[in-house]
Amino acid sequence: MLCAPMVKVREPVGTHKFLWLDSKTPLYDDVLLDPDVEVETAARQFMRFLSSSLLTRLLKIGFVREGSALFKMLQAAGLPLHFRTGAPSVRISQYRDWEYYLSSISANRRQQYRNFCRRIEKAGALPVRFVTDPSERRSQMAALFAEKRLWVEARDDLLDWIVPAETEAWFQYLSDQDDGTNRCHLIQMNSETEWISSMLFFERGDRLFLSKFVHNKSWDRFSPGWLIVNEVVKYGIERGFDEVDFMIGRGVWKDRIADKTSGIYSCRAGLLPWQRGRYS
């Protein structure tokens, strides 16, 4: 009825803490919850588990999306949630096709999009393609992760995001799984002679989730990142998805496209008897 992925970390003084098992990237944390189970029932079971040892000191969860099953369960359990940032998204179910969507945005942004499309095509860009060959997809995902690691290493606020080899291995494994309703896609924009941009995104239920994208800096003047994001929005509209989720964090391109923002929360709950229910 409930699956909660956690790691039990023993501490020198004999206590232990539970850390949510995440992807070492800014993806949402969540639980697998039987839809027939009431959230309050799941919350009671979760708290019974956390309270089963007097040595359990702390529960730590990094990225809980507002409205998710985990968010509702933590609320029902009375555990503290602390606002971290927002996750922008765009609702697309009301658009019957791509041109209808374009007609709904501002004339200035519509003109910018079409100008960039014309300019990048004139510069030699080919149409965006889906990378479907398994061997090529593994190779191109490895290149994407190498680019993202370089980006992370140039910053000092992302700790070990994406750096561990296990992170890429997990995404490579996940990309090979396809059950028809939860799917992984890698798309690319190239010219005849070089790579321009790549985007990794997922289908889950009625939503698309943007995971990672990178682009060739020498093509910056054509906004290839913005263009490839629009390709995902176009894909979602053409296939009848409800929403495209741009995931954690704000950005100029996200704010340009999004029409909705969900809160992202952390949970750091003290679990010793005199701490229980407090943000620790």
Structure token pair of residue 150: 């370089």
pTM: 0.85
Structure token pair of residue 106: 């501002």
Query: Which residues, at least 6 apart from 270, have a Cβ–Cβ distance to it below 8 Å?
Result: 57, 58, 276, 277, 278, 279, 280
CA dihedral in degrees (266, 268, 271, 273; nearest 10)? -110
Cα–Cα–Cα angle for 139, 127, 143, rounded to 5 degrees: 20
Tens-digit pLDDT string for the chain (280 aa)? 788 889 899 999 899 999 998 766 667 888 888 888 899 999 999 999 998 888 899 999 988 999 999 999 999 999 999 998 889 999 999 999 999 999 999 999 999 999 999 999 999 999 999 998 888 989 998 999 888 888 777 766 655 667 777 788 888 888 877 766 668 899 999 999 999 999 999 988 899 999 888 899 999 999 999 999 999 999 999 999 999 999 887 777 788 889 999 999 999 998 887 666 665 5
pLDDT at position 179 is 64
How far apart are alpha carbons 230 and 143 in whole angstroms?
A: 22
From the list 134, 230, 150, the residue with the least C-alpha distance to 186 is 134
Cβ(149)–Cβ(103) below 8 Å: no
Total number of residues shown for the chain: 280
Query: Which residues, at least 6 apart from 122, have a Cβ–Cβ distance to it below 8 Å?
Result: none
Domains and CATH numbers, the chain: 2-86+263-270 (3.40.630), 93-241 (3.40.630.30)
